[in-house]
Amino acid sequence: MTRNVTVLAAALLAACSGAGDGKDKTDSGNPTDTQTTGCTNSVTAWFPEKGDLDVYYKSDVRFTLLTADPTATIEVTDDAGTVVNGDTDPSTAVVSWSGDDFAPSTAYTATLTYACGVDTIAFTTSDTGGPADGPGLEGKVYALDLEHGDWVQPAGLGPLIAGQLSGTQILVSPSTVTDTNITMLGAIGSADAQDLCSPTIDFPPADFTNPYFELSADTLPLTVAGFTIDITDLTLSGAFSPSGDRIQGATLAGTVDTSTLGAAFDLGDDPNTICELGASFGVTCDDCPSGTGPYCITVYVDALAAPIVASSPPLVPRTPDQIAGDPNCAGS
């Protein structure tokens, strides 16, 4: 088992390195990007992508380095040269900046200064950030694509988990929207269709600061290779576009008990398999709130796309008892 985990860790490290991500480590097209001669560190990835014209107004900015540089700083300016208030976290190889909301439909430049030089990202925000027609959102269905989000945590294990979720969607539908509150129904689906053999999620009413929402739920059950994996203490956030045709910048966060993931990923039945693999990336497993053991990791997925499902019927509430009595559902 240890050998299999070690081999998979090496493969994932190769997949996550700058050499395989299709991004140039230096941007010769931008004269402000410099690399100190003889320096061994460099930028391997960016978020947002350079030249992106559809950036979410609440986005963070990230530069991924080969190795951590505690001296690294990021400054973000708008097209008039005004500095956007924010803070840099250089504690890991992923140097991140978070700060004030960006203005919709505005050009920005993020500048990384680190021991080996300077690197920049020029990007423009989308129109999301202006008010959406709240009551007009009711009954619409949006599909969040879990596979292609930016898996910030668990670091390094994101590609493994995302690959196993190929085709899996979280469908969400606002049921009640007021000036200050929103209530949504959630469901698991694929190909823009609800899985009627998975229970729906009744998200409690949440604050709605048009167009931004942040929902919470005790549990989100996902099925991976026939195994049910619960994301507990779930939070889901995002913002509706002004026309209501999509949710942009959606994020998903929670805690996952990894004790059954080894079997789901065909790595064996040892409950410690994923924790052992995570240790190769500096990911530490903690005690699970449910008391099942020291197998829990934090999951944080950013930049989830959630277009409206134009042809989808309304979501159908489904309880475990209804599913158990449905002859069309396996195990009923």
DSSP 25-51: SS-TT-TT-EE-TT----EEEEESPTT
- 117, pLDDT greater than 80: yes
Residue 163 CB coordination number (10 Å): 12
pLDDT for 11 beyond 60: no
- Is 22-124 a CATH 2.60.40.1220 domain? yes
Q: What is the 3-state secondary structure (H, E, C) of 222-265?
A: EEECCEEEEEEEEEEEEEECCCCCEEEEEEEEEEEEHHHHHHHC
Say what the pLDDT of residue 224 is: 63
pLDDT digit string (tens) for 65-100? 999 999 999 999 999 999 999 999 999 899 999 999
> pLDDT digits over 266-310, tens only?
778 888 988 888 888 888 899 988 778 899 999 898 888 899 997
On whether the CB atoms of residues 62 and 95 are closer than 8 A, the answer is yes
- Highest mean pLDDT among 106-120, 183-197, 244-258 belongs to 106-120
* Amino acid (1-letter code) at residue 165: L
112 has pLDDT over 50: yes
Name which of 16-25, 28-37, 296-305 the model is least confident about. 16-25
The CA distances from residue 268 to 52, 134, 264, 272, in Å, are 41, 48, 8, 10
Q: Which of 106-120, 131-145, 149-163 has the highest mean pLDDT?
A: 106-120
Tens digit of each residue's pLDDT (9 = 90 or more) over 192-245:
899 998 889 899 999 999 999 999 888 887 766 666 778 889 899 999 999 999
Q: State how far the Cα of 48 lies from the Cα of 56, in Å rounded to an integer.
A: 9
Q: Tell me how long the chain is.
A: 332
CA distances from 194 to 142, 188, 199, 314 (A): 11, 6, 10, 9
In 3D space, the residue among 72, 68, 118 whose CA is nearest the CA of residue 97 turns out to be 72
Q: Which of 12-26, 103-117, 201-215 is predicted most confidently?
A: 103-117
What CA dihedral angle connects 23, 25, 31 and 35, to 10 degrees?
Answer: 170
Which pLDDT band holds residue 20 (cuts at 50, 70, 90)?
very low
- The C-alpha torsion from 49 through 50 and 56 to 62, rounded to 10°, is 60
For residue 29, pLDDT over 60 is answered with no
Q: Is the pLDDT of residue 12 over 50?
A: no
pLDDT of residue 176 exceeding 80: yes
pTM: 0.77
DSSP 3-state assignment of 144? strand
Angle at 172 between CA 299 and CA 191, to 5 degrees: 90
Give pLDDT, residue 23.
Answer: 36
Mean pLDDT value across the chain: 84
